[in-house]
């Protein structure tokens, strides 16, 4: 919850980044690479995508120049924060077979101290979803836990762009972030007054701001920020009716639409890779040439492969239909039973990055309709 | 069964195997061996009938294998392993003195508490006898706690029957009704021929359906038909327990491979009552 708000001038975004770096954080934030906005280590504010926006539709992503100097005027790109919280590939352990057969293990390196700059509301919820899975279950994943504990989160409220494939309003995950951050920025682009309203979400956040020039937020600043976020909410490009969704999907496991979508789905797994909550991993043991040193490596896995369910000579999900069904059913139904929340935060990445433009909101609407009704979502 | 062991490293970091040594190796069938494993260092791992361990063959990989004998006081335990892939081929080839990495125990065990004071029916197909063996031994250890105990075993051929050295010892007991059937007899086989679900009707008169708890482990098709038979004889779905096999990699519900509907079979299973499994188990390719 916000512990007050201040305003910093756009020029002092640089100071914010420098302060984080001085405090020992590796600052990760949005930057332009290969024609998209990805998350990478920032050396300074100069690495941020100033003056860029994106154009997103099902199976479509393009960067476009803006006619202003907005720093955060775009929706989420293909990356999400899981790539830092659940590093992949990751060496779980390394062992050596010695003359007397004893094994030595190499302790894993210390976890980096990350500051995430530009965490959108949907992604804050995605991190919270991951917390439930890897921190609150029967076993705690120490790799995630170390990174998560230390991470400093600077949220950016969604404003100044039209969210085409987003549906956070439907999922109750945005566009306004209300908790879970250390600082939350709302970018205000007024002629001659490029500034950020900064909501303070933690003690840590407040302490950091002591090193960044700022002034108290006035009522007009706060009003402008709320309006900018509210405008984003009204521009949502997609919607998904979650009312009764879980039960409807459970009741429709043999819906003809699964066959229909399977005809289009390439089972490439792009959706799982861009999804901010997809957490599945596989492990592989690798040896050196001598065969005496081995390491166990874990990396993200994709439920769209037949190998994913391969057991004792056979795969449990042969058809594309079964594999797509597993993914959607997990996101929107079984996840709720497993973790008490949807596995979808409405970020829209899977829609944008699907090479054939399969839209989860459209599929879910049909799949949760009465069997064979073929309802159109309008 | 579950010994409250000292604080285990695996509770702090679930991904690290514990070093064990092979102390004995017994060939069961042409492609299956039983390994007796002993912890190389303290502390040892606990385990209950029906639970499984993740076994690492050095430099090759890791596989889930159920406990065919639960750890004794010294932590010694047994796994029966069939060579079907690269990891199991290497495990089966291990010799006494060789190193094995062990993580676990994982998953739910057989509900012996529920079976206490009731008729118990154990139905195994092929290698499915391995996890049921640990249940049978636990039952026989406290035989007076249970009513009728019936064991139905099915195998493809006589030489695929597991634990043939110990089987006569169980068969001689008059407080256990153990029956074996094979799909394809050889010329020396004098026992029953047919699939294991057919045996249910034979023994049905001897158990009281409303007071029966059934544990089943075997190939999916065998389990499905066994469930039908049990239902036909009046055993209720919440007293029929199945042990399911899926791709399991982490053992703690984090890697996602073993999902069946809402269940992570590595932690919500592998043993689950049919009443909970039914809506998902009966859907093809779920």
Query: Which pLDDT score is estimated for B12?
Result: 52
Contacts of A330 in chain B (CB under 8 A): 259
Interface predicted TM-score (ipTM): 0.92
Last residue of a domain, one of A213, A234, A255: A234
Q: What is the pLDDT of residues A124-180, one digit of tens each?
A: 999 999 999 998 877 889 899 999 999 999 999 999 999 999 999 999 999 999 999
Contacts of A246 in chain B (CB under 8 A): none
Same domain, A251 and A229: no
Query: Which pLDDT score is estimated for B44?
Result: 85
Q: What is the pLDDT of residues A228-277, one digit of tens each?
A: 999 999 999 999 999 999 999 999 999 999 999 999 999 999 999 999 99
Mean pLDDT estimate for chain A: 94
Nearest by CB to residue B255, choosing from A250, A282, A292, is A282
Report yes or no on B232 lying in a domain: yes
A positions 63-122 inside 8 Å of B (CB): 92-93, 95, 97, 101, 103, 105
Query: Which pLDDT score is estimated for B268?
Result: 96
Report yes or no on A375 lying in a domain: no
The alpha-carbon gap from B85 to the nearest alpha carbon of chain A, in Å, equals 7
Which residue range is the domain that position A335 belongs to? 245-367
Same domain, A44 and A184: yes
Q: ∠ at Cα A58 (A55, A60), nearest 5°? A: 45
φ, ψ dihedrals at A146, nearest 5°: -60, -45
Report yes or no on B2 lying in a domain: no
Report yes or no on A374 lying in a domain: no
How many Cβ atoms are within 10 Å of A281's Cβ, its own excluded? 21
A positions 304-323 inside 8 Å of B (CB): 308-313, 316-319, 321-322
The alpha-carbon gap from B84 to the nearest alpha carbon of chain A, in Å, equals 6
Which residue range is the domain that position B257 belongs to? 112-281
Confidence of residue A1 (pLDDT cuts 50, 70, 90): very low
Residues of chain B with pLDDT under 70: 1-12
Query: Which pLDDT score is estimated for B174?
Result: 94
Same domain, B99 and B120: no
The owner of tokens 């007076």 is B144
Last residue of a domain, one of B73, B91, B106: B106
Report yes or no on A336 lying in a domain: yes
Same domain, B172 and B236: yes
The owner of tokens 């309003």 is A169
* CB-based contacts of A55, cutoff 8 Å, min separation 6: A61, A62, A63, A64, A164
Number of domains within chain A: 2
CB contact under 8 A, A319 and B62: no
pLDDT of A98 over the 90 cut: no
Distance CA A236, CA A229 (A): 11
Query: Which pLDDT score is estimated for A136?
Result: 83
Q: What is the pLDDT of residues A216-233, one digit of tens each?
A: 999 999 999 999 999 999
Query: Which pLDDT score is estimated for B13?
Result: 72
The alpha-carbon gap from B98 to the nearest alpha carbon of chain A, in Å, equals 8
Report yes or no on A240 lying in a domain: no
Report yes or no on B153 lying in a domain: yes
Last residue of a domain, one of B64, B91, B106: B106
Report yes or no on B4 lying in a domain: no
- Which tokens belong to A225? 């920020």
Distance CA B63, CA B249 (A): 7
Same domain, B166 and B31: no
Confidence of residue A369 (pLDDT cuts 50, 70, 90): confident
Same domain, B40 and B126: no
- Which tokens belong to B73? 């006081």
The owner of tokens 């984003």 is A232
Nearest by CB to residue A280, choosing from B257, B283, B286, is B257
Number of domains within chain B: 2
Confidence of residue A103 (pLDDT cuts 50, 70, 90): confident
Picking from A287-291, A374-378, B144-148, which range would have the lowest pLDDT averaged per residue? A374-378
* CATH, residue B98: 2.40.30.10
Nearest by CB to residue B58, choosing from A97, A310, A317, is A97
Query: Which pLDDT score is estimated for A2?
Result: 54
Q: ∠ at Cα B72 (B71, B78), nearest 5°? A: 45
Q: What is the pLDDT of residues A189-218, one digit of tens each?
A: 988 889 999 999 999 999 999 999 999 999
């Amino acid at each position: 919850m916000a512990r007050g708000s201040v305003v910093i001038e756009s020029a002092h975004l640089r100071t914010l980044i420098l302060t984080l770096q001085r405090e020992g954080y590796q600052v990760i934030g949005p930057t332009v690479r290969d024609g998209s906005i990805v998350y990478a280590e920032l050396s300074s504010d100069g690495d941020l995508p100033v003056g860029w926006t994106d154009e997103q539709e099902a199976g479509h992503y393009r960067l476009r120049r803006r006619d202003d100097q907005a720093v955060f005027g775009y929706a989420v790109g293909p990356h999400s924060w899981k790539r830092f919280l659940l590093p992949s590939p990751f060496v779980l352990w390394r062992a050596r077979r010695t003359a007397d057969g004893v094994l030595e293990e190499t302790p894993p390196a210390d976890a980096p101290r990350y500051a995430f700059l530009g965490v959108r509301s949907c992604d804050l919820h995605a991190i919270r979803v991951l917390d439930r899975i890897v921190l609150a279950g029967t076993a705690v994943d120490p790799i995630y836990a170390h990174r998560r504990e230390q991470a400093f989160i600077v949220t950016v409220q969604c404003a100044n762009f039209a969210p085409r494939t987003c549906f956070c309003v439907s999922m109750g995950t945005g566009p306004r972030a209300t908790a879970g951050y250390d600082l939350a920025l709302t970018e205000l682009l007024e002629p001659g007054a490029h500034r950020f309203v900064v909501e303070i979400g933690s003690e840590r956040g407040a302490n950091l701001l002591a090193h960044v020039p700022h002034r108290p937020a006035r009522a007009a600043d706060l009003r402008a920020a709320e309006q900018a976020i509210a405008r984003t909410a009204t521009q949502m490009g997609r919607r998904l009716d979650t009312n009764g969704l879980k039960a409807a999907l459970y009741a429709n496991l043999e819906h003809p639409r699964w066959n229909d979508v399977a005809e289009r789905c390439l089972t490439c797994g792009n959706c799982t890779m861009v999804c901010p909550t997809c957490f599945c991993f596989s492990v592989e043991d690798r040896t050196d040439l001598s065969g005496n040193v081995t390491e166990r490596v874990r990396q993200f896995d994709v439920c769209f492969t037949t190998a994913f369910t391969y057991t004792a000579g056979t795969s449990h999900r042969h058809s594309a239909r079964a594999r797509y069904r597993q993914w959607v059913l997990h996101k929107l139904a079984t996840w709720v039973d497993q973790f008490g929340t949807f596995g979808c935060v409405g970020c829209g990445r899977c829609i944008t990055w699907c090479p054939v433009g399969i839209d989860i909101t459209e599929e879910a609407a049909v799949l949760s309709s009465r069997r064979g009704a073929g309802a159109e979502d309008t | 069964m579950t010994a409250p062991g000292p604080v285990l490293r695996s509770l702090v970091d679930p991904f690290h195997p514990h070093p064990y040594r092979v102390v004995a190796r017994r060939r069961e069938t042409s492609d299956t061996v039983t390994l007796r494993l002993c912890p190389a260092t303290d502390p040892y791992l606990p385990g209950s009938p029906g639970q499984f361990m993740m076994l690492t063959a050095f430099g090759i990989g890791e596989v889930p294998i159920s406990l065919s004998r639960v750890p004794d006081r010294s932590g010694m335990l047994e796994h029966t392993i069939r060579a079907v892939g690269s990891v199991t081929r290497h495990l089966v080839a291990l010799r006494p003195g060789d190193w094995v990495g062990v993580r676990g125990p994982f998953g739910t065990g057989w509900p012996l508490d529920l079976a206490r004071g009731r008729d118990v029916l154990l139905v195994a197909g092929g290698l499915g006898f391995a996890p049921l063996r640990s249940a049978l031994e636990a039952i026989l250890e406290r035989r007076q706690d249970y009513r009728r105990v019936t064991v139905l075993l099915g195998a493809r051929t006589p030489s695929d029957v597991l634990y043939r050295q110990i089987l006569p010892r169980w068969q001689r007991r008059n407080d256990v009704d153990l029956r074996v059937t094979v799909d394809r007899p050889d010329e020396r086989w004098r026992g029953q021929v047919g699939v294991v679900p057919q045996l249910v009707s034979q023994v049905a008169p001897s158990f009281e359906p409303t007071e029966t708890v059934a544990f089943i482990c075997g190939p999916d098709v065998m389990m499905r038909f066994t469930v039908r038979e049990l239902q036909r004889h009046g055993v209720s779905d919440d007293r029929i327990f199945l042990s399911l096999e899926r791709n399991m990699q982490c053992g703690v519900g984090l890697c996602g491979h073993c999902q069946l509907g809402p269940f992570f079979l590595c932690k919500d299973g592998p043993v689950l009552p049919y009443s909970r499994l039914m809506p998902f188990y009966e859907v093809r390719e779920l």
